[in-house]
Chain A
């Protein structure tokens, strides 16, 4: 053909790339992605385009298996929670928070040990994130990135429940860290929307009030059991 073919787009971040240029290539439509990591690529791409657009980020592409979608979304949440964990590391010590609590009623025991342990909040946070990483990457429960067994999908709920406690502890005990992190990432409201939409957690456990989200105003008044 007489028309010159455009240069193929190579989507790489090679050594030497500046931080502002990281991932700055043209978006690829989900249908064109042919790697096994397509769902992760798509989710990350959508977040980069606008991290405040929770709805678009959580919208499953047509034809995409929902189990895999939930799994990859949860992976991304755990990845981004690292940011909150790092901020907490500076301030949340065994002296300030000797146990993992949110509001007064509950003390959460860390499930990462053989018998549940009353870890200090910072240990609970780290262990929960590390434990989630092990479970979500485990060859036994999640051997593939393109298909999830139903029995493994059931595990996602317990990961969500434990991971949510990091949000609630940060909200109630390290409010400024929570606010700073939330403004940068919109992570908690996206997570809340996510677990409600896919029924991964009971609404009673969603104790962090979400601003700007009318459907969650009822949570402000819920009584903690």
Chain B
């Protein structure tokens, strides 16, 4: 009897077929999964490649920055401080300089070697100087992780503020040995490896970036002081002589020179960041050319400007980086103004939701994480029947003043910061309604010396009030054009500055009611973004700072009326300014969603913080410094206020 039967065979065939079908389905699923995985990994890898490329670019830019600064300082001053040199030698065992003779050999015999040599030296300089230790550490760690090398991150070195320059002493030249140099070269092998591997890529990268660079060059040209410009020009011509000996392959060198000469920012920014130490002469000059170029590109790269970055202010007595701490959530619409109470950790916000709110920063909501805390308001000021547009607090924090779309200026008594948020209503908080304006009140300014309040309204008038008196209106000044912002001159409260939508900025004598000085004529007819959004007065010097719709911040001298300085400060309209109580820093906010902190001596940006999202085309309305504590605040169209410490 045969083991096979017809039904058996049929059954077997059917069974096998269904098994195959099942397996086929499984294979299809598997294949799809694997394809998805491949796509994902490819994308990831591409991202990593881009990241690696960017990081390498940044490393080069940092190196150039330092080179450029070396050249500048070297040209400025001559003569060496021997004690510092020796100390410098001891403190950092790695910083042995090859002798100049060896350098010359390198130059003439092997251009590529000198390039690498120079870069390695720059690395050392960066370490010595302690330039942006945090940046260096972060970057080098990232590169290390990417490249998988055992390169030690440079250790931060104590900053001396001594300015040292000039040639290396003979002793030092002789003390350098080839052996040291070799070991140094080994340490920096990863940098060299990068050079070799990416030589072609680099060239491509540079040429691609040139367009961006050109666009950003324009922007940078307008930014810095005239004196720096001349210095750089002089240095540039000197350095161009030195570079001719060396064949370093950088595209558009000549073009960049011109831009660098005009790029005042380089000198200013570099001056802020680098310690002045001794430099090599001939090697550094070549290297410095490259540094200049790459630093310029670095500063131009947009992505850099939108990141938080900090540059060590080595000339300052302390280094301060602001970090977000509190987020104030409770308003239903954009917050138009924010002010700190002078003697408390508290703020008041004024919003388009018709209310103002008082917040106590010492009582945030309990939270597991300490980095960013939410705060709820302890009091809501209700009274305005339209958006509240402006806000001021008096000198001892007992009263606050608000101006609204409903044309009223209101005086409020500020409740204690210790009150319970859900306390009984006290109608005494509403002190007064100052009636007089007939249109939106956009700006208020309070003078503690005069105990008087100025208000500016789109009814083309500025009014002076004594808020506590029974007949508060003291005087009305009719403006030529629509005022946007008013500010008492802090060091001379008999005067006030008023800015207008057509760009006019006038200094008024409050006694006579006349314009005593015209700081800016106003170009209402010439271009659409001529409006001045905010004026701020320096606490100790007769200087007025103004925020413009055309992205500029300008500085005027109150005595002469001259424009002291003008700089492109943001990527969009600058909406708000605040000066710190010591007159050292300026805070600016803009509709480009960023707030920037400026050093008023050097007029350079020392920190940028991205903050607030847009509603329609507006994002940040107001920024403020605390009058006595280390807080800064920003308020935006997204109904949030943020406090940084």
Contacts and interface: CB of A to CB of B under 8 A. Distances in A.
A75 B639 CA distance: 12
A93 B424 CA distance: 11
Interface string A75-107: 110110011011001000110000000000000
Contact of A16 (B405, B421, B422, B458): B458
Contacts of B500: 16
B635 to A, nearest CB: 14
A19 B533 contact: no
Contacts of A86: 354, 382-385
A59 interface: no
Contacts of B424: 94, 119-120, 123
Interface residues of B, number: 57
A57 B385 CA distance: 22
B484 A127 contact: no
B531 A16 contact: yes
Nearest to B502: A16
* Best-buried of A17, A113, A127, A131 by chain B (most CB within 10 Å): A17
Nearest to B389: A15
Nearest to A125: B425
Contact of B421 (A12, A130, A136): A130
B380 interface: yes
B269 interface: no
A79 B531 CA distance: 30
B329 A89 contact: no
B377 to A, nearest CB: 7
Interface in B395-424: 405-407, 421-422, 424
A122 B440 contact: no
A10 B501 CA distance: 15
B330 interface: yes
Contacts of A22: 387, 405, 440
Contacts of B443: 15
Contacts of A129: 380
Contacts of A18: 439-440, 458-459, 482
A19 B354 CA distance: 14
Nearest to B387: A22
Given A17-B440, A17-B458, A19-B439, A35 B329 contact: no
A28 B615 CA distance: 12
Contacts of B614: 35, 37
B20 interface: no
A86 B384 CA distance: 8
B382 A12 contact: no
A14 B329 contact: no
A131 B330 CA distance: 9
Contacts of A139: 327, 329, 374
A19 B382 contact: no
* Best-buried of A19, A110, A126 by chain B (most CB within 10 Å): A19
A16 B616 contact: no
Interface string B418-453: 000110110100000000000110110000000000
A122 B382 CA distance: 12
B376 interface: yes
A5 B439 CA distance: 34
B531 A41 contact: no
B534 interface: yes
A66 to B, nearest CB: 20
A40 interface: yes
Contacts of A11: 616-618
Contact of B533 (A15, A134, A138): A15
Given A16-B484, A19-B407, A126-B425, A78 B332 contact: yes
Contact of B333 (A28, A79, A89): A79
Interface of B: 327, 329-333, 353-355, 374, 376-377, 380, 382-387, 389, 405-407, 421-422, 424-425, 427, 439-440, 442-443, 458-459, 482-485, 500-501, 528, 531, 533-534, 549, 573, 575, 591, 613-618, 637-639
Given A35-B616, A79-B354, 4 more contacts: A16-B458, A22-B387, A22-B440, A89-B427
